[in-house]
Structure 1
Amino acid sequence: MSAVEHLQELHGLPAFDFPDPQTRRELPAADAVAWRLAVDAYGDSSEEGFGDLWDRFLGSVDPTGVRAIIVGQWGEAYDNDSGVVLQRLVDARDRLTALRAVFIGDLEMEEAEISWIEQSDVTPVLEAYPLLEEFGVRGGTGLRFPAVRHKHLRTLRFEAGGLPGEVVRGVTASELPALEGLDMWLGVEEYGGDATVADLAPILAGGRFPALRRLGLRNSEIQDEIAAAVAGSPVVAQLTSLDLSLGVLTDEGVTALLGGQPLTHLTRLDLHHNFVTEQVADRIRAALEPAGVEIDLSEPGDSWEDDGVVHRFTAVAE
């Protein structure tokens, strides 16, 4: 299973593809689904652009009932950044009064590689919707996230093959008192993922996000360094779920976790897609499973050897 797939739900609502103009289909109630809005940039069935799609959507449903929006392809995503999406969302803030969840960039590999998705400064959505509870973005190219203040945001998610360190620093400098879940795919330097463990320090120190319970620092080529930093970080005590999956995690990182603070209070520890030997995997299972911690150590990662050097890869890069 690919790590980059279309969302099946958002905000507890099933994803529903808003149909193209040629499709006659009864629409669900505005508040019953997460509306997925996407145009086919390469199809010949319709010449509808994203702006036209957006206007048709707002004219077909009751905007005051819409609770969740998933934005898929808005055009040729490698050539047109998400600014057009952001502007439409911001302009509709007085109509989408019930909107509580937004995800921008729900594209699969067949539509665009994750590194091809051109994003932009996405924080205007948070400023326009002070009651928003969930916000997610896929794609790190051109992504900007200057520090924000938002009282009600509970879940923040970044999926990227390379998440800029500037974005990570913007998140750590933000004031998000209600934030319960933070998920960041840090990626690789080749695709813009230049965040360091030092950039994560304000999160790991604890207290920055007092409501934080679910933390994902994933898909990183420095996963062992992150694991070592997490092992001694104060934030772990407030978590119920810790996710270090999708990256280049080896015995070194897991051994650091074993030698750090107790993790037996967690309900879940996700380490899937890893390069951990069975011996070390057995050690962490023995340490945590008797305490009721659910551990995912599935999906060994891909690696190859060249002149005695082992090359390991994150689950998502390009």
Structure 2
Amino acid sequence: MTVNKHIEDFHGLPVLDFVTVVDGGAELPEPGAVAWKIAVEYDAEQDWIARWGQFLDRVDTTAVTALVVGEWSHDGPDSFAGPLAAILEAAERMPALRGLFIGDITYEENEISWIEMVDVTPVLTAFPLLTELVVRGAAGDYAGDEGIGLQPVRHEHLRALRFESGGLPGEVPRAVAASELPALERLEFWLGVANYGGTTQLADLEPFLDGTRFPALRHLGLQNSEIQDEIAAALAHAPVVARLESLNLSMGVFSDQGATALLDGQPLTHLKSLDLHHHFLSEAMQTRLREALTGVEIDFSQGGKPGERWRYVAVAE
């Protein structure tokens, strides 16, 4: 599995590619009716900054509520630093912005672990009313650039935060854990693998498990991991689980070992959903989970072979 398709909806709105619409001569919709995507193709005549300027000129950005940043490298791999600076410079022109997705990029455009991300802390400081932030990519030492970063912040309104990565540095979850996010309801990390910069350890995740951080948290996703069974074992007795409505342990190397730990731990029957897609569970264990968690919607799709010597995460390179 790879990231092989662009998102079609974001922040409750259909995604509209600004460049495609403008170049095609179509009429632009109302500013708040869509999630506006700004992206360029490789070898495009105009770079991302130029297209961003067109967007600011053509659209009433004071009414834009959702923004999607697509591929910004039109002439080979490039850091997100330039586009980020342009977005921050225009922050006062987007007072209604509530949802921001950085990096709607497929593997055909740029492998996820080659997306040259930077410190995204300024996004949260520049947009104090933002309620949803998704960041895809990491790079860093692997690509020889700055790499993804985050500093501890206080943000009063952020309700959903997700980092999608083929290898997430431990500094990122540690910074999230040190942040004050009183409104945060949904938190997800794609942890990835060591070969692509994934240095997050179980200890980095423990602050999210003890239940003392983020009192509004109702959904937790610890996904795409080589330590999926260890995470499951820690969650089996984690205080935070009792107040979750949904739990996502998908995309990793989750096996019967991790499932046994969950079943031997605290009750999970209060959950509305448990996402385990892309797993390595036996049929017998899937049956055990269904019988033990009646009433819980469980996703067992994309199962691999149980006991397989080489288990792999869904998204790495």
What is the TM-score when the length of structure 1 is the normalising length?
0.94
C-alpha contact 1:213 1:240 (8 A) present in aligned 2? yes
Q: In terms of mean alpha carbon deviation, does 174-183 or 71-80 score higher?
A: 71-80
Provide the secondary structure at the position in 2 that maps to 1:185.
strand
Q: What is the deviation of 1:304? A: 9.5
- Structure 1's 303 and 162: CA in aligned 2 closer, same or farther, altered over 3 A? farther
Is 1:235 the counterpart of 2:240? The answer is yes
Provide the secondary structure at the position in 1 that maps to 2:190.
strand
Partner of 2:277: 272
Provide the secondary structure at the position in 2 that maps to 1:137.
strand
Task: Write the mapping of 1:17-32 to structure 2, written as runs, cut at 5 A.
Answer: 17-20=17-20, 22-32=23-33
Counterpart among 105, 122, 125 of residue 123 in structure 2: 125
Is 1:106 the counterpart of 2:104? The answer is yes
Provide the secondary structure at the position in 2 that maps to 1:235.
helix
Task: Write the mapping of 1:253-292 to structure 2, written as runs, cut at 5 A.
Answer: 253-289=258-294, 292=295
Provide the secondary structure at the position in 1 that maps to 2:68.
strand
Is 1:143 the counterpart of 2:141? The answer is no
Partner of 2:144: none
C-alpha contact 2:223 2:248 (8 A) present in aligned 1? yes
Partner of 2:57: 59
Is 1:299 the counterpart of 2:302? The answer is yes
Distance of 1:19 and 1:188 partners within structure 2: 34
Provide the secondary structure at the position in 1 that maps to 2:19.
coil
- Structure 1's 54 and 129: CA in aligned 2 closer, same or farther, altered over 3 A? same
Structure 2: tracts of 5 or more residues without a match = 140-146
Partner of 1:158: 163
Partner of 2:142: none
Distance of 1:110 and 1:34 partners within structure 2: 22
Distance of 1:132 and 1:112 partners within structure 2: 27
Structure 1: tracts of 5 or more residues without a match = none
Alpha carbon RMSD of aligned pairs, Å? Answer: 1.6
Q: What is the deviation of 1:147? A: 1.0
Partner of 1:211: 216
Identity %, equivalent residues: 56
Distance of 1:109 and 1:228 partners within structure 2: 32
- Structure 1's 211 and 117: CA in aligned 2 closer, same or farther, altered over 3 A? same
What is the TM-score when the length of structure 2 is the normalising length?
0.94
Q: In terms of mean alpha carbon deviation, does 293-302 or 164-173 score higher?
A: 293-302
How many residues align? The count is: 309
* Superposed CA offset, 1:33-65 (max 9, x none): 00011011234xxx1111110110011110101
Distance of 2:55 and 2:306 partners within structure 1: 45
Provide the secondary structure at the position in 2 that maps to 1:19.
helix
Partner of 1:181: 186
Provide the secondary structure at the position in 2 that maps to 1:108.
coil
C-alpha contact 1:301 1:314 (8 A) present in aligned 2? no
Q: In terms of mean alpha carbon deviation, does 16-25 or 72-81 score higher?
A: 72-81
Q: What is the deviation of 1:233? A: 0.3
C-alpha contact 2:3 2:107 (8 A) present in aligned 1? no
Provide the secondary structure at the position in 2 that maps to 1:312.
coil
Distance of 1:118 and 1:161 partners within structure 2: 12
C-alpha contact 2:281 2:304 (8 A) present in aligned 1? no
* Superposed CA offset, 1:97-122 (max 9, x none): 10001011110011011011000001
Is 1:247 the counterpart of 2:264? The answer is no
Q: What is the deviation of 1:2? A: 4.6
Partner of 1:317: 316
Distance of 1:208 and 1:85 partners within structure 2: 32
